[in-house]
Amino acid sequence: MGRQTIDKNKPQPDDTAWFRDGLLASWPICFGYIPIGLALGVLGNQAGIPVWAVTMMSILVFAGSAQFICVAMLTAGASGWSIIFTTFVVNLRHILMSSAVAVHLNGVRRLFLSFFAYGITDESFAVNMARFREKNWDPKRAITVNQLANLAWVTATTVGALVGQFIPRGAFGTDYALTAMFLALLLFQLHNAVYILTGIIALILGTAWYILIPGDSYIIGTSITAATIGYFFKRYREKQK
């Protein structure tokens, strides 16, 4: 057998580039999930939920806020049906994200879409949408982000249930990781005055709605209202030109 020579000038196919890109894009999410996941695990543990059940919940549900609410409701002795209904309402906001991401996954295989849907969260949605805008993003990289975030979430909640009570809360400022990520992603999305106006309306309305109306309706209500006002502002601007 002759020695194989590698031609350095010829571009080598890089089969792992998609994974590396996915990893680079998802690490802020994974980082941010650590303190929240640990906290959830600790609370679950205190509520008397076995470690395996915490893991099972994170795999089956994969939605942070709903899982916190579930633990709180179980502690308060709520019925299963009321927990399931609350979960449904809290997670309805994903309809908006799923619709928005569909624009970038046009024509993709339905089986792939069905797997992709499982990983749509506030965080993976925000990261993937920002990347899709930059044009160098594809479904494979996007689902890598979803799945790595999922892995971090399942791991963090499980570890939290096992040893969480020994880790001090708020160490290294990790509580702020997801907020900082949202801030940066928001900034990257402000392409023109229409987006800025939409954002300002959502901030003001979101604060008022959150303070005045109990529950989580502020997320969907504010998003739809702000995007609609922004849309009509865009049309108005186009007519002026």
Partner 1 sequence: MSFLEYLFLFGSMGLVTYLPRWLPLFYLAHRELPKWLIDWLSLIPVAILCSLLAPILFSDQTTRSLELGKPEFLVAVPTLLFAVKTKSLGGTVLVGMGLFRLSAFLPI
CB half-sphere exposure, 142, CA atoms < 13 A: 29
Exactly one of 23, 108, 162, 167 binds partner 1 (CB under 8 A); that residue is 108
Question: Which residues contact residue 208 at a Cβ distance below 8 angstroms, ignoring those fewer than 6 apart?
Answer: none
By CB under 8 A, tell whether 167 contacts partner 1: no
C-beta separation of 151 from 36 below 8 A = no
Minimum distance of partner 1 from residue 204's CB (angstroms)? 8
In contact, 73 and 81? CB cutoff 8 Å: no
Q: Does 185 bind partner 1 (CB under 8 A)?
A: yes
214: contact with partner 1 by CB under 8 A: yes
Subset of 46-65 contacting partner 1 (CB under 8 A): 49, 53, 56-57, 60-63
Among candidates 167, 127, 173, which has minimal Cα distance to 146?
127
- Using CB under 8 A as the binding rule, whether residue 117 contacts partner 1 is answered as yes
Among the residue ranges 5-13, 15-23, 152-160, 213-221, the one whose residues contact partner 1 (CB under 8 A): 213-221
Among 47, 30, 42, smallest CA distance to 174 is for 30
Q: How far is the CB of 195 from partner 1 (least distance, A)?
A: 5
Instruction: Name the phi and psi angles at 72, rounded to 5.
Output: -60, -40
* From 14-22, 82-90, 150-158, 160-168, span contacting partner 1 (CB under 8 A): 82-90
Site membership for partner 1, residue 138 (CB under 8 A): no
Torsion angle of the four alpha carbons 195, 196, 197, 199, in this order, in degrees rounded to the nearest 10: 90
Instruction: Please pick, from the candidates 17, 46, 92, 151, the single residue that binds partner 1 as defined by CB under 8 A.
Output: 92
Residue 227 near partner 1 by CB under 8 A? yes
CB of 205 to partner 1, least distance (A): 8
Q: Which stretch binds partner 1 (CB under 8 A): 6-14, 15-23, 87-95, 158-166?
A: 87-95
- Closest separation between CB of residue 4 and partner 1, Å? 37
Check if the beta carbon of residue 119 is closer than 8 Å to that of residue 140.
no
SS (HEC) of 142-194: HHHHHHHHHHHHHHHHHHHHHHHHHCCCCHHHHHHHHHHHHHHHHHHHCCCHH
Structure tokens at 214: 């109990």
User: Binding to partner 1 by residue 193, rule CB under 8 A?
Assistant: no
Least distance from partner 1 to the Cβ atom of residue 164, Å: 19
Q: Which residue among 125, 152, 157, 161 contacts partner 1 (CB under 8 A)?
A: 125
